[in-house]
């Protein structure tokens, strides 16, 4: 049975989708942008944006009783691949280095609200 995962600690969906869906031990997290749920404002600059996206993902994982150790797949969208190194260092600081997920990073021409980074994840309860 599918369970919708939602927390006010992460930004509300800005379209017809859920923050995450949990089914058969697998959590599918929608792409998160650097929207600060406390202020309702977007963070600016790749460093602050990446930290906010990772914080948003963390609280959604926690709402489902999971952590970054449970993440098995990550998809990262960057508006500018020149931001890769900075984003990657910040992303790495949140991840469990003993349980790294599969991942791809894709440069795109535009993201929602014209942000620089969006990240989605799939996690599994082992």
Give the predicted TM-score (pTM) of the model. 0.97
Q: Residues, the chain, total?
A: 126
Q: How far apart are CA 123 and CA 79, in angstroms?
A: 24
Identify the pLDDT of residue 41. Answer: 97
How many C-beta atoms lie closer than 10 Å to residue 29's C-beta? 25
pLDDT digits (tens, 9 = 90+) for 62-81: 999 999 999 999 999 999 99
Sole residue written with tokens 């790749």 = 46
> What distances in angstroms separate CA 29 from CA 67, 91, 109, one per listed residue?
12, 16, 22
């Amino acid at each position: 049975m599918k369970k919708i995962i939602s927390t006010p600690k992460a930004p509300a969906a800005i379209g017809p989708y859920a923050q995450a869906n949990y089914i058969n031990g697998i959590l599918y997290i929608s792409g998160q942008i650097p929207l600060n749920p406390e202020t309702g404002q977007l963070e600016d600059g790749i460093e602050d944006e990446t930290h906010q996206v990772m914080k948003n993902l963390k609280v959604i994982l926690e709402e489902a009783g999971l952590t970054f150790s449970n993440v098995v797949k990550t998809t990262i969208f960057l508006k500018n691949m020149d931001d890769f190194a900075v984003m990657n260092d910040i992303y790495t600081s949140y991840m469990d280095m003993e349980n790294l997920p599969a991942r791809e990073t894709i440069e795109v021409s535009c993201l929602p609200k014209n942000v620089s980074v969006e990240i989605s994840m799939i996690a599994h309860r082992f």
